[in-house]
């Protein structure tokens, strides 16, 4: 159907976006690659010796590196599991007839609008603080010893905070998908005597597959670079318990101001992210006919 004329027009229309993103990717990336081969510390001007792969060697053998890799996967995986399971259940609940549905929906989506820094500050100071946080007060009221979330379950606490922020997003997308489900199909299944659980697994879940894929893809992109929540709450600790790859790169580039080491870390992070991206694309390819 496309004519030669419209093909040329199409090229023209897509080119600004492609060129801009290409520039946005290539210029900083090539500078980063270049810096990653240098002994370049911001605090020691004048020394920019070429040191080959030393920065990479140090980053990859950093005792924090494997911990960070694992934490990144746990963080992304944990948040995805919570938001998707929670999102599906919440979407089904919100899809039921009820009073004040609009208000409930407004309450549920609110966390998505909150700045990550603000939500981390609020959770850390006003809820998880073991002395005057609300959880500590609740524990004391029940006669229990307050639990120090950020010291004894640091990664789980961060997963909780991040999941709280992303649950609304997952719920919204899943809810929209659920509303497009053919009601008659569900009713027919009910007539056939299928229980709620069986119709959930045989009708709802397959219908939601595409929406779940979308949630996974978008959230993964954002979750790989979770940073503010860690900086505000635990500073990556105790030990390396909450250091993810992004945070590790941060400690190199903005705590030690080691631009060389930070750049090497950045390149490693890009490579890892792209591995995840390829994996995701495979998955998307099956589930989404782009």
Partner 1 sequence: MARAVTNQRKAVMTALAWAIGVMIFFPILWTVLTSFKTEAEAIASPPSFVGFAWTFENYVEVQERSNYFRHFWNSVIISLGSTVLGLAIAIPAAWSMAFVPGRRTKDVLMWMLSTKMLPPVGVLIPIYLIFRDTGLLDSVPGLVIVLMLINLPIIIWMLFTYFREIPGEILEAARMDGAGLKAEILYVLTPMAVPGIASTMLLNIILAWNEAFWTLNLTAAKAAPLTAFIASYSSPEGLFYAKLSAASTMAIAPILILGWFSQKQLVRGLTFGAVK
Partner 2 sequence: MKHAPLKYASWILGATSAVALSLAAHAETITIATVNNGDMIRMQKLTDDFTKDHPDIQLEWVTLEENVLRQRVTTDIATKGGQYDVMTIGTYEAPIWGRQGWLVPLDGLGDDYDLDDLLPAIRDGLTIDGKLYAAPFYGESSMVMYRKDLFEAAGLDMPDAPSWEFIADAARKVTDKDKEIYGICLRGKAGWGENMAFLSAMANSFGARWFDMDWKPQFDTQQWKDTLTTYLDLMKDAGPPGSSSNGFNENLALFQTGKCGMWIDATVAASFVTNPENSQVADKVGFALAPDNGLGKRSNWLWAWTLAIPAGTQKAEAAKAFIAWATSKEYLELVAETEGWANVPPGTRASLYANPKYQEAAPFAEMTLQSIKAADPINPTVDEVPYTGVQYAAIPEFQGIGTAVGQMFSAALAGSMSADQALQAAQSLTTREMTKAGYIK
Q: Which of 69, 70, 73, 122 binds partner 1 (CB under 8 A)?
A: 122
Instruction: Look up residue 267 and give its two tokens.
Output: 């390149």
Restricted to residues 18-47, the positions that interact with partner 1 (CB under 8 A) are: 18, 20-21, 24-25, 27-29, 31-32, 35, 42
Which of partner 1, partner 2, none does 255 bind, CB closer than 5 to 8 A by kind?
A: partner 2
Contact 150, 128 (CB under 8 A): yes
Q: Which of 29, 58, 105, 114 contacts partner 2 by CB under 8 A?
A: 58
- The residue within the footprint of partner 1, chosen from 63, 100, 143, 206 (CB under 8 A), is 100
Cβ pair 265, 68 in contact under 8 A: no
Candidate list 103, 142, 191, 197; residue touching partner 1; CB under 8 A: 103
210 binds, among partner 2, partner 1, none (CB under 5 to 8 A by kind): partner 1
Q: Which one among 7, 8, 11, 13 touches partner 2, defined by CB under 8 A?
A: 13
In angstroms, how far apart are the furthest CA atoms of the chain?
79
Taking alpha carbons only, the member of 262, 257, 211, 255 closest to residue 88 is 211
Phi, psi for residue 83 in degrees, rounded to 5:
-70, -35
Which C-beta is closer to partner 2: that of 96 or that of 145? 145
Residue 177: both structure tokens together: 């998908």
Question: Which residues within the stretch 245-264 sit at the binding site for partner 1 (CB under 8 A)?
Answer: 245-246, 249-250, 253-254, 259, 262-263
Task: Find the part of the chain contacting partner 2 (CB under 8 A) among 76-84, 141-149, 213-221, 265-273.
Answer: 141-149
251 is a site residue for partner 2 (CB under 8 A):
yes
By CB under 8 A, tell whether 36 contacts partner 2.
no
Burial class (CB in 10 A: 0-12, 13-18, 19+), 170: buried
Residue list 137-166, contact with partner 1 (CB under 8 A): 137, 140-141, 164
**Binds 283: which of partner 2, partner 1, none (CB < 5-8 Å by kind):** none
> How many whole angstroms separate alpha carbon 232 and alpha carbon 123?
10
Q: Where are the beta strands (DSSP E) in 107-241?
A: none
160 interacts with partner 2 by CB under 8 A: no
Per partner kind, with CB cut-offs from 5 to 8 A, the member of partner 2, partner 1, none near residue 221 is: partner 1
CA distance linking residue 243 with residue 71, whole number of Å: 7
Closer to partner 1 by Cβ: residue 54 or 105:
105
**Residue 45 interacting partner from partner 2, partner 1, none (CB closer than 5 to 8 Å by kind):** partner 2
DSSP assignments along 6-72, one per residue: HHHHHHHHHHHHHHHHHHHHHHHHHHHHHHTTEE-BTTSTT--EE-TTHHHHHHHT-HHHHHHHHHH
Using DSSP's 3-state secondary structure scheme, residue 58 falls into helix
Interface residue with partner 1 among 54, 151, 180, 197 (CB under 8 A) is 180
- The rounded distance, in Å, linking the Cα atoms of 141 and 144 is 7
Decide: residue 97, CB within 10 A, 0-12 exposed, 13-18 middle, 19+ buried.
exposed
């Amino acid at each position: 159907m496309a004519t030669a004329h419209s093909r040329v027009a199409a090229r023209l229309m897509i080119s600004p976006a492609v060129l801009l993103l290409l520039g946005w990717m290539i210029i900083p990336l090539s500078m980063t690659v270049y810096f990653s081969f240098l002994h370049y510390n911001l605090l020691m001007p004048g020394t920019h010796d070429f040191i080959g792969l030393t920065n990479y060697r140090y980053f990859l053998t950093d005792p924090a590196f494997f911990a960070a890799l694992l934490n990144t996967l746990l963080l992304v995986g944990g948040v995805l599991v919570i938001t998707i399971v929670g999102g599906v259940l919440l979407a089904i609940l919100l899809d039921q007839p009820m009073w004040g549905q609009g208000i409930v929906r407004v309450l549920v989506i609110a966390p998505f609008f909150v700045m990550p820094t603000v939500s981390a500050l609020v959770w850390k100071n006003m809820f998880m603080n073991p002395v005057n946080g609300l959880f500590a007060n609740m524990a004391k009221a029940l006669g229990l010893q307050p639990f120090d979330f950020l010291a004894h379950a640091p990664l789980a606490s961060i997963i909780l905070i991040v999941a709280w922020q992303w649950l609304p997003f997952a719920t919204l997308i899943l809810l929209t998908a659920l509303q497009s489900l053919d009601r008659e199909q569900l009713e027919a299944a009910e007539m056939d005597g299928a229980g709620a659980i069986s119709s959930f697994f045989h009708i709802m879940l397959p219908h939601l597959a595409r929406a779940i894929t979308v949630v996974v893809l978008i959230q993964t992109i954002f979750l790989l670079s979770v940073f503010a929540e860690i900086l505000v709450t635990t500073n990556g600790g105790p030990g390396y318990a909450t250091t993810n790859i992004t945070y590790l790169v941060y400690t190199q580039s903005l705590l030690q101001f080691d631009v060389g080491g930070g750049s090497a870390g950045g390149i490693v992070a890009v490579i890892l992210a792209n591995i995840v991206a390829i994996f995701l694309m495979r998955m998307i390819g099956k589930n989404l006919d782009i």
